[in-house]
Structure 1
């Protein structure tokens, strides 16, 4: 591993407190980078700090935090090799019953916060001919019943990535998207707590429409997460997106993501709807699995 401050390059990783972000920070440090690892609390930074990893307090929705990160990068003589936009929050629930305040909260982190950090660090990335690596999701390519808020924010991040890739290509900055499927992290647990609060606020009419779907989502998320890859496996894929000499525009993480994203490109929408609805229905309460109206298929 390269340890000389004269030869190391900088990499910024947001959302590095735990899980995939923390594993990515460690993997990049092992590969010789000096990682500025964005964490929310000092305690997270203490557990992460090691050779090659410098924790920085970073809430990507806080302009003061973003400004402090930018100042830290600008004062360093080493080039900024990459910005890994990894921070994110989950968000499940039917479109009808998810409050607008929750939509805005999800987009504030999963989209606007990343745009803010990218805008702030682009001068350094342009100077160093660096790279933007945006962590989106399988749900940035495929949406389904009950996952609209989260999927919408990830679809939006995919669109921003496409625009940014074309805008920056003439100036030597590459933009890469990484699309994870299931990854064994704590993110799903946090999302299910919010889902429970949403369930409590539904009207009787909404409960009649979406009650079985709401019961299915926790089981579906748990099964998807259990079948996923470890954070360490995901981190190696993200590090590849950072270091490949001629990177692809998109990398997937996990066989499920690769299969479903390919299926979304070749299957008609109605067929894909039936596929995703059938997968969800396996997690319905037993008495509801035979019904056809409990969870309407998604419309793309």
Structure 2
């Protein structure tokens, strides 16, 4: 049998790293990409520990030339592409009075347009192999959350893009799935890089609400409560191996309950009641 070729973006830490290792264990030839391969130390170490090989390459999802170069090199070496996981992304905290429109655009570039760019570049190749397209979204792509306006906007855009693409791609034999994790104990939150005192000063009258939100978020992402990257990776690899992958998949019971609350909330009152408690 031909070893399936899997391209994963954003593999330097967290879900991307764990998924690259889990997929390699499951028999995929994994092309693990990241914006800066100088940060590949954790992935190299994990691969050695797991006794698997991964092909680590540079891919900056916000740079069209980087996307084209990486995908072209993969095809030149392997001749095919059987699955793609859009995982690269960046967290962001803020509220619109305290940031610029360019700040919001930057969040959209990495979290939405990066997904669009990789999808456009790889979809013709997936069409040739009947390959799969998986995009890591978030429960924040379904439920708008306080101080996550730009981030949720980007993830909402990803969800709409993929939901609309799914039936179209299916006509040419490419299953598309959106994966929605909830709180995951990864470096993702730390990588948001928030200077809390400076942010509290900048948000002015929103300071008390931000303090309440940050306290709630710290509790939700505590390792004793949050899902682990390895647990999410297991769900993703099972999805890759599934004969009939779903269009949308949550990675935990908590995520299913959270998303379900929104999907059953026709007038928005239940969600607003829930998230308003995070800022008081």
TM-score by length of 1: 0.85
Alignment match of 1:259 (pick from 257, 260, 278): 257
Cα shift readout 1:254-286 (whole Å, capped 9, x = no counterpart): 2221101111122341122111212x04xxxxx
CA positional deviation for 1:190: 2.3
Distance 2:147 2:256 in 1: 21
- Preserved contact between residue 177 and residue 251 of structure 1 (Cα < 8 Å): yes
- Maintained 8 Å contact 2:35/2:61: no
Count residues in correspondence. Answer: 271
Unmatched tracts of structure 1, length 5 or more: 1-5, 282-288, 290-300
2:31 — aligned with what? 36
Larger radius of gyration between Structure 1 and Structure 2 = 1
- Pick the aligned partner of 1:13 from 5, 8, 15: 8
Which residue of 217, 227, 230 corresponds with 1:229?
227
Aligned equivalents of 1:128, 1:215: Cα separation in 2: 50
Where 1:11 maps in the other structure, the secondary structure is strand
Q: Does 1:188 align with 2:189?
A: yes
CA distance in 2, matches of 1:153, 1:270: 23
Q: Deviations over 1:92-145 (max 9, x none)?
A: 222332311110111000000111111111121111111110100001000132
| Pairwise CA distance, 1:224 | 1.5
Q: Note the alpha carbon deviations across 1:241-265, whole angstroms, 9 max, x for none.
A: 2221101111101222110111112
Residue of 213, 216, 225 corresponding to 2:212: 216
- Residue 114 of structure 1 aligns with which residue? 115
In the TM superposition, 1:2-81 aligns within 5 A as 7-49=2-44, 50=47, 51-81=52-82
Offset from partner CA, 1:39-66 (integer Å, 9 cap, x none)? 2333333442443311101111112211
Could you list the runs of 5+ residues in structure 2 that have no partner in the other structure?
Answer: none
Query: RMSD of aligned C-alpha atoms?
Result: 1.8
SS of the aligned residue for 1:76 comes to helix
